[in-house]
Structure 1
Amino acid sequence: MARLIANTPCAGLLPKTIGSVSLSEVDAGVVTLVAPFNGQQKAVSDALKSAIGVGFVAPNRCVGTSPRVMWCGMGQALVMGVDCPDLPAQCVDHSDAWAIVRIDGAGADAVLARLTPIDLRASVFKKGHTARTLIGHMTGGITRLGAQSFEVMVMRSMAATLVHELVQAAENMDARAGLSA
């Protein structure tokens, strides 16, 4: 009989430090996609706030740390880091669906700027902002965690591609910095 071994999406690929940028895998724990039934968004928000301390989020926002609620599409959010309470919503377990990579360090925004068309300047894309966007040729999400700290999410099946593209972009930025020094 085959013996299965559980691996994280980026097992064996991360962590990495390239120049001033570090890449590490994030274990978000339990992740639940929540889509409130018609007319139930306020009830869902109230129930979440009561149960986990964080309500349903506005578009393009992420609130909380652990637990947290992250917008992920029209009328949808991901509840991360905690079991989802009973809600008047469609709730789907996404715990194994995502590969999440944290990018930290001076130049993290420049690395991501090579892979996405969105404006990541801190004056526009502030802490707690999140966006569904292209990352290289993949669809995913980017969330700003701090001045030079981001999380990038893609579907689990694209984990190796995400790491490859982030590493390539970081290496290119590091080589460019080395040439100008």
Structure 2
Amino acid sequence: MLIGKLATAFAATIMATSAFAQDGPAAPAPSLTYAFSVRATLDPVVEQGEVDGGRRRFIPITGGTVSGPALSGTVLPEGGDWQVIMPGGLTSIEARYFIKATDGTVIEVTNPGVRTAAPEVIEKLAKGEPVDPSAYYFRTTPRFMVKDGIHAWMRRKVFVARGIRKPDSVVIDFYTVE
């Protein structure tokens, strides 16, 4: 009797597992909701040079604005964007800076991501030349550290973002994953 119950349970598990594998996702795809945009102003690039197979750079963030339906405020100076430009058109990015919301709350932003394009497009971006945003892929997965209060929701959501590099600034559009 026990062996029969175990065999039935095992068969049900196998059927359920194979049903997931054959039917695709177990749940609907998540959607994105626009939250806000950051326009960060930048100082000239600090070039470190070739290290461990990549061209290392630091771009100082000097300030900026935050606007959108879920958050508004300013970008505080003294942050930065650490980049490694790899051969073949891949740039690894990690920006770290602070936002000061209009209510005075200071929010720490850590924003890792990638920018990919043809090597000649990456070189134009590295030189600070204007480039059509459709010529490159620039996506990030931001995280926020903020105290309990009105903006604590930012710690309870997953975000993705799209970036557009301009000669003297960067614009990042932030979306929550629903």
Does the TM-score normalized on the shorter chain lie above 0.5? no
After TM superposition, the score normalised by the length of structure 2 is 0.27
Counting strand residues as a fraction of each chain, which structure ranks higher? 2
Question: Which structure has the bigger radius of gyration?
Answer: 2
Q: Which has the higher contact order (CA 8 A, sep 6+)?
A: 1
